[in-house]
Amino acid sequence: MNYELIADITQIIYKAYPDGKVDTAREINPGRYCFYVRLGDGSRQILKVTDNCADNNSVKVILDTIYTYCLSEMRENPKKAVVLKEDLSRDVVIL
């Protein structure tokens, strides 16, 4: 995943969570980039974007999918992670 896409995703998350703090990390196996949103109440929400998703979809499509689907799924599942996959489907997984 390139740094521009990471910055764009981080910016979308900050717009959705203006009081949050976003940390990023890379998971090697399986290959995906993680966005950890720490909220003021001590909770956190997590978005993970797979390498295949980033490599095989346009930036616009990825950002639209995050904005349209992932952010609401993150809010609905605060103790789980939302994983955006190559085919733009999402899995909600237990941490």
Boundaries of every domain in the chain? 3-87
Instruction: List the one residue out of 58, 62, 60, 61 whose CA is nearest residue 48.
Output: 62
> Helix-strand-coil percent breakdown of the chain, rounded to 5?
40, 35, 25
0.85 surpassed by pTM: yes
Instruction: List the one residue out of 80, 72, 70, 86 whose CA is nearest residue 9.
Output: 70
pLDDT of residue 29: 85
Q: Which residue has the higher pLDDT, 29 or 92?
A: 92
Q: What would the pLDDT profile of 15-63 be if each residue is shown by its tens digit?
A: 999 999 999 999 998 899 999 999 988 899 999 999 999 999 999 999 9
Q: What would the pLDDT profile of 63-88 be if each residue is shown by its tens digit?
A: 999 999 999 999 999 889 999 999 99
| Cβ neighbours around 40 below 10 Å, total | 9
pLDDT of residue 1: 85
Q: Within 13 Å, how many C-alpha atoms sit on residue 74's CB side?
A: 26
Region label for 35, one of left (φ > 0), alpha (ψ between -120 and 50) or beta (otherwise): beta
DSSP designation for 6: H
